[in-house]
Every structure is written in C-alpha cells, then in structure tokens.
Amino acid sequence: MWKVIVAPLAAAAFCAVVLLRFGGGGETAAEAVRAIALTEATGAANRVAAVVLDVRLYDTLFELFAFAMAVLGVRLFLRTSRVASAETIAESHVVRRAAQVLLPPALLLGIYLAIFGHLSPGGGFSGGAVAATGLLLVTVALGADALARRFRDCWLERLEGLVLVVILVLVLLPITWAAPVASNALPPGRPGRLPSGGLIPIYSLLISLKVFAGAWAVIHYFVRHRGEV
C-alpha cells in the first residue's frame, strides 16, 4: 500500500524540482516584444485570443474536433440504451421562478463573452459554457421536458453540425489562395474597438454556438437517460 502513496509524492517532488530549476526563467524581452506585436498584427487587444484564434488557429480547430468527438461519444453510448420514464420531480416555486429569471441573463452574458472575447477576458469556449450553464439551471428547475420544449431537439443538433462545417470551411478555404491563416481575410482594424481583429470575433461567435449546442446535447442525453438531473 505504501507504494501507491510514495509514487505520486515522488512524482510531485520531481515536478517541483524541475519547476524550481527551469520554471519561469525562460521569459525574455524578445518574447514580450513578440507578445505586444501580436496585438498590432491581429488587431485583437486580448493577446491570448490572438494566439488561440490566429497564431494557433489549427490547434483550436482540432480542440473543437475533440469537443465534437466527446459530444458524439456521449450521444452514441447513451442513445442505444434505454430511455428513462419522464417523471419529473416537483421543485419548489422559488427555484422554478429563479431559473426562469436567471436564464436570459446567462444567455446574454454568454453572448457578451463571445462577442467581446478579443477585447477582454472571455471568448467562444467560455461564452458557450456560460450560456449552457443557464440551460443546465433550467433543466434542474423545470425538468428535461421544459428544456426540450424550449429548444427543439433536431434544430440544435443540425445547428451543431452546420457550425462545425462553417468553421471548417472558414479555416481551410484560405489555403486555396495560399494564405496561411484566415484571420487576415478581414482587415485587423484598430485594437480596442469592437469591429477589430479580423475574423477573430466571428470565430468566437461560431465556437460559442458550437459549444452551446454541444453542451446542450450532453445535458439533454444525460437527462433523458436518467429521467431527472
């Protein structure tokens, strides 16, 4: 039994030694200059967004594929098994009303995070996750049926596939005219303004839609499988 305790502790100690020896020492002035040049090159005030959606756009594309694969896996494994009987627990009046009140602000905050992702902390993934949290709240309070009534099943599933195809085309089409990254298809604009950063806000919006639809599908399949949250 002592081995299973000592081994992780030894691994953690090794990590600590490596970090003490090498961690945080690699930042040079050249890297910092490159970081500020990112804003001028892409027009995005948020340099992390500039890295994620411009310099490493293909990496983000494959992250989106990983997300889509997870949603597909959940759908595949839960669709074939039984569908639970749709018996809903009667939540209290306060919880139900609170969920109804909190859903619009959650959706609004998600859209805000997606649209302003290139100016301030946020972005497509977090925006979609926040909006999907609103959906989870409604599912907890009102049950799966209310959610299914509010968002039609087939409609969101089609949206999910369509958004993935649109992003794929937007990312891969510029290869045909030998532009390495599609963000330069639109002018970078003035950093700090809302319409800046080229295609970065559009990518953010599409990714948030994809994450929203995917998270909704995961919630929906889990709830439909169990019958309750």
- Per-residue mark of binding to another protein, 130-169 (x: CB under 8 A): ----------------------------------------
Question: Residue 209, interface with another protein (CB under 8 A)?
Answer: no
Which of 83, 88, 120, 161 touches another protein by CB under 8 A?
120
Number of residues that bind another protein (CB under 8 A): 54
**Cβ 135 to another protein, closest distance in Å?**
15
**Cβ 98 to another protein, closest distance in Å?**
26
Alpha-carbon distance of 58 to 168, in angstroms, equals: 10
Query: One-letter amino acid identity for 174?
Result: P
Q: Between 42 and 147, name the residue whose CB sits nearer to another protein.
A: 42
Question: Residue 194, interface with another protein (CB under 8 A)?
Answer: no
**Candidate ranges 67-75, 94-102, 134-142, 178-186; the one touching another protein (CB under 8 A):** 67-75
Helices 153-172, 57-80: crossing angle, 10 deg rounding: 150
Query: One-letter amino acid identity for 32?
Result: A
DSSP annotation of 174 reads G
**Candidate ranges 48-56, 139-147, 161-169, 176-184; the one touching another protein (CB under 8 A):** 48-56
Alpha-carbon distance of 115 to 104, in angstroms, equals: 16
| C-alpha angle 67-71-76 in degrees, rounded to nearest 5 | 145
Question: Residue 181, interface with another protein (CB under 8 A)?
Answer: no
**Cβ 56 to another protein, closest distance in Å?**
6
**Cβ 24 to another protein, closest distance in Å?**
3
Long-range own/partner contacts, residues 96-101 (CB < 8 A, 24 or more apart): 96/141, 96/142, 98/141, 99/137, 99/138, 99/140, 99/141, 99/142, 100/138, 100/141, 100/142
Question: Residue 35, interface with another protein (CB under 8 A)?
Answer: yes
Question: Residue 64: which of 53, 55, 75, 74 has the closest Cα?
Answer: 53
Which of 24, 94, 101, 177 touches another protein by CB under 8 A?
24
Question: Residue 121: which of 52, 167, 186 has the closest Cα?
Answer: 52
**Candidate ranges 4-12, 98-106, 140-148, 179-187; the one touching another protein (CB under 8 A):** 4-12
Which of 152, 192, 194, 195 touches another protein by CB under 8 A?
192
Q: What is the C-alpha R_g of the chain?
A: 22
